[in-house]
Amino acid sequence: MFYVRTNDGVKIAVYDLNPTAAETVFLVHGWPLSHRIFEYQETPLICKGYRVVEIDLRGFGSSDKPACGYTYDRMADDIYAVVRALNLQNFTLAGYSMGGAIVLRYMARHRGYGVKKLALLSAAAPRLTQAPGFCHGVPASAVDQWAAGASTDRPALIRQFGGMLFTLPHSQAITDWLGDVSLSASGIATIQTACALRDEDGRADLARVCVPTGVFHGRQDRVVPFDLALVTQQGIRNAVLYPFDQSGHGIFYDELDRFNSCFLQFLAC
């Protein structure tokens, strides 16, 4: 692990695995997690000869935890700072959940600098919550409850949210581990990024994507409803949808082997 400092002085934790490989995959986690969520993608990717770059978004994992800066614009700028620091070119950018919305903002705000393919994994995009003229997603009140829970009993919120991630049964150990990962975030970041999930609107970002895009989404997702994947696919020219019939929000846990196989095929094509 090392740090890249952003233009507002925040240090972003960066993990660069297999750095001499010719092909790079840059993974961006979701709310309220860290890079550790991709543990079971690292080995398959490295074994296929990929360089794997991961970050902890500001406020999460081992990155600095400032009091502000939790907009999609700011976090997309953080990704850009890492891309420039590592001189990444012709890489695949992949974002999970909130990370999917942030990488979409990167594509729009930084014109997809360096990106040759985009992967949206259970992406909270183009916007998570319903709004006038947009009937998809979840009610804003649902995300208000996440922010309120993070303000009063964050461990209980994390346990409740963890119970929403999966459709298939998993061990208690996995559930406990995900709770530990989530609690490594700061309380401020957890609250403010929940507000970003509620308020940010990325519908205009979709048309700015001009690279091959894969939309990977579970049909049983209770966090980011599957209809948002359809909206995202339709909004991005020539995007390909990879539905996972047995998966909830945690597609690379509910259908781990199938997800890894599909993801590797997407990277290779």
Cα–Cα distance, 98 to 96 (Å, whole number): 6
Cα–Cα distance, 117 to 130 (Å, whole number): 28
Q: Which of 29, 221, 247, 254 is catalytic?
A: 221
Cα–Cα distance, 264 to 195 (Å, whole number): 33
Largest CA distance in the chain: 48
Catalytic-residue membership of 63: no
Closest CA to 117 of 85, 95, 97: 95
Catalytic-residue membership of 249: yes
Q: Which of 62, 63, 97, 122 is catalytic?
A: 97
Q: How many residues does the chain have?
A: 269
Helix axes 98-109, 187-199, angle to 10 degrees: 70
Please, are residues 233 and 215 in contact by the beta-carbon 8 Å criterion? Answer: yes
Catalytic-residue membership of 16: no
Task: Give catalytic residues, as residue numbers.
Answer: 97, 221, 249
